[in-house]
Structure 1
Amino acid sequence: MRWLPVLYVAGVLLLEPITPVEWPISFLLVALPLVTAFAHGPAVVAGASVFAVVFEGVLAGTPCCAGRSVGYLWDRHYVADYVCTALVGALGTILAAHRTRRERTLADVRFVAEIAQRVLLRPVPQRIGNLLVDSFYLSADAEARIGGDLYEAVPTAHGVRLLIGDVRGKGLLAVETAAALLGAFREAAHDESDLPTLADRVETSMNRRAEQLAGSEVGERFVTAVFAEIRADEHAVRVVNCGHPPPLRIRHGEVRELDSGRSAPPLNLGMLVGEPYPLDVYPFRPGDQLLLYTDGITETRDPDGAFYPLVERLRSWAPLPPQELLERLHHDLLAFSGNRLRDDTAALTACLLPGREADDEADDEEDVAVT
């Protein structure tokens, strides 16, 4: 784009000698300021405008151009062309100044969004004890950068605690709700000794926040979430599911949904049921990977309307470590959707590294779900 004005002038020069006299190609230079305004600032556009007027005069006053015997420097048609070019140049300069200001504003907004994303969704540690952890986030709106999907991994005295969530709705309210939930989780993860109590405390925080909000949709401002816990002293993963897509366990090419069918209501709706959060425990041995994700992934569609086949894709990527697995998932989602995501997407993965002693006997255990 920056070389477009030069190419435009070169095209005019090529056409001028080969066109008849009654076709004054130099008139095309009237568009040069606007062509320049696409990629350059107001100073360059003003310079291009002056150049266009002068160059039109040179072409009009040169008898040899297009086989002319005399020049037409001050012919009324050419004078009108000079005036039009000057006016277009003034408009192009104003347009370039406006575009430059908008680009600077957009750059500032993107910078603020990136800072907000780092505060809200700060990068998770890639190594926590004997776990490899990684995450990624894709916003459906490329300019927004952040939305209502969230994740977190917190090392605590009770083990590594993971969270993935999806706030209902969009916009600033969703971001504020995600920030409130993450703040409550980061604090309570260190204090509560078991996962159901942790989920209940986060639920209480969300209820308290909802009561402080005005509007008719207070009761609908809920969050689907999965809480997971992996302790260093046992080969198991504890899961509390609050209305969220179940996590996936990847083991030797096998991909299994960790779903006991006892999902609790989404956060901020638990008061409607009043029952304790069900806790499910599944075997999780060295080499296993746990994938937590939001429904933006499974609801991604291709141009024909087909949903993204997450489980089938993961079966072929199972040997990949967490970082490479999420990179492959990231690029595959964009390719599958034709770079047109309809919803925010987030994913968090944890891989248990082999310990000093292999628990070979546990390989034959059946998966169980206990309260």
Structure 2
Amino acid sequence: MDLRLLRTPRPRSRQERHAQLAVPFALIALVTVVDVLAPPEVHLGPFLVAAPAVTASFAGPRMTGFVGLVAVLAQSVVAATRTTLTDLNHTFQIGALVVISVFVTFFAHLREVHEKELLQLRSVAETAQQVVLRPLRGRMGPLSAASVYLAAVAEAQIGGDLYAAARTGRSSRLIVGDVRGKGLEAVGDAALVLGAFRAAAHREAGLPGLVDYLEGAVSPDLDDGVDRDESFITAAVLDIPDDEPVLHLVSCGHPPPLVLRRGGRVDPLDVAHPAPPLGLAGLLESSVTAHTFAFAQGDVLLLYTDGVLEARDRSGVFYPLAERAAAWSGLHPRVLLERLCEDLLAHVSGSTLGDDAAMVAVERLG
């Protein structure tokens, strides 16, 4: 089950829009009344330019132009009441108000065009995200799974974190990875890894062979015109047998997964000899070794990317993932990820994540 909790900006409600529109009209009414009642030597008409200027910050060109027209009419009423429309001072004020209203209406048009372009880009990004990161199946043999993804670039809603799962004859295989960088530039590398994993997860007998295949598939593309030490992919590749209470793990420079045991204990799956990140095997001489850990009925495996660990609050404190996960052990994977996701966003207090963040939770059932 894929939660797909992408951070889409909340649309404004009708009440909020009406409240915003009330501000420029209230400003026009206030300036008009005070200007009419003010002494002859006091002129408040120039303050009317604030009404269309404020409107342009949140409304479209039509509403901005309408507010500008109302402001011009209000200035004309002030001129007719205090002197005449042909008074030189009021004539210049009306003329300046007309010019400024035209300018801010044009800027409102440009902003509206830009927002439409962003909306189209967001739609394309969401489609690409769904193609690259296919939803995980909620049930894989004796396993129950769920996932969540949060992109650091809210406008793009897509990044370089990746996850996938595949069924073999007698086991389930998973990968969680993190491409260096974020945004659309990281999508191509993520797609390479996921494509290679889906192609080879069914036929490679062991995890070391699968990791070697992934390394061979992505290295030529990562080397194409880019320094090898600047492009790499950390990953955790796992195989979970159906008939054994264990899991096998190859860590390619990725943060250690967590296993939530019964009773609230959390065990990090630290490996003594991790493999190099994908794309760096040619620079770092190291063998690929699969490590075995206990994974019994009722245990929940939590996979994540470093964007979760590196999320900071306003005082610079990192997100305590293990502590929070322990507090919610025993929950269904979907509910666990919902709690962690809400808590993570609350931890950063509404600020943006420093990096993309992804989490996958897998529980062994009976």
TM (normalized to structure 1)?
0.86
Classify 1:95/1:173 alpha carbon distance in 2 versus 1 (closer, same or farther; 3 Å). closer
Indicate whether 1:319 and 2:336 are aligned.
no
Classify 1:321/1:36 alpha carbon distance in 2 versus 1 (closer, same or farther; 3 Å). same
Determine the structure 1 residue equivalent to 2:272: 261
RMSD of aligned residue pairs (Cα, Å):
2.1
Q: Identity of paired residues, percent?
A: 42
Determine the structure 2 residue equivalent to 1:193: 205
Tell me, yes or no, if the aligned pair for 1:135 and 1:349 is still in contact at 8 Å: yes
Classify 1:133/1:78 alpha carbon distance in 2 versus 1 (closer, same or farther; 3 Å). same
Classify 1:191/1:92 alpha carbon distance in 2 versus 1 (closer, same or farther; 3 Å). same
Offset of residue 179 of structure 1: 0.9
Tell me, yes or no, if the aligned pair for 1:31 and 1:85 is still in contact at 8 Å: no
Which residue of 99, 105, 115 maps to 1:87? 99
Determine the structure 1 residue equivalent to 2:6: none
Determine the structure 1 residue equivalent to 2:3: none
Secondary structure, counterpart of 2:235 in structure 1: strand
Offset of residue 331 of structure 1: 1.9
Which residue of 159, 171, 194 maps to 1:159? 171
CA distance in 1, matches of 2:317, 2:210: 37
Tell me, yes or no, if the aligned pair for 2:276 and 2:286 is still in contact at 8 Å: no
- Structure number with greater Rg is 1
Determine the structure 2 residue equivalent to 1:67: none
The 5 A counterparts of 1:56-71 are 56-62=75-81, 71=83
The 5 A counterparts of 1:15-30 are 15-16=34-35, 19-30=38-49
CA distance in 2, matches of 1:77, 1:13: 16
The alignment of Structure 1 onto Structure 2 pairs a total of residues equal to: 345
Determine the structure 1 residue equivalent to 2:231: 221
The 5 A counterparts of 1:298-313 are 298-313=309-324
Question: Unaligned 5+ residue runs, structure 2?
Answer: 1-19
Amino acid at match of 1:239: L
Offset of residue 275 of structure 1: 5.2
Amino acid at match of 1:247: P
Classify 1:254/1:18 alpha carbon distance in 2 versus 1 (closer, same or farther; 3 Å). farther
Secondary structure, counterpart of 1:183 in structure 2: helix
Question: Unaligned 5+ residue runs, structure 1?
Answer: 64-70, 356-371
Which residue of 251, 269, 283 maps to 2:261? 251
Tell me, yes or no, if the aligned pair for 1:46 and 1:93 is still in contact at 8 Å: yes
Determine the structure 2 residue equivalent to 1:239: 249
Tell me, yes or no, if the aligned pair for 2:156 and 2:184 is still in contact at 8 Å: no
Amino acid at match of 2:132: L
Which residue of 28, 33, 53 maps to 2:72? 53
Indicate whether 1:287 and 2:298 are aligned.
yes
Determine the structure 1 residue equivalent to 2:222: 210
Tell me, yes or no, if the aligned pair for 1:30 and 1:81 is still in contact at 8 Å: no
CA distance in 2, matches of 1:270, 1:144: 31
TM (normalized to structure 2)?
0.87
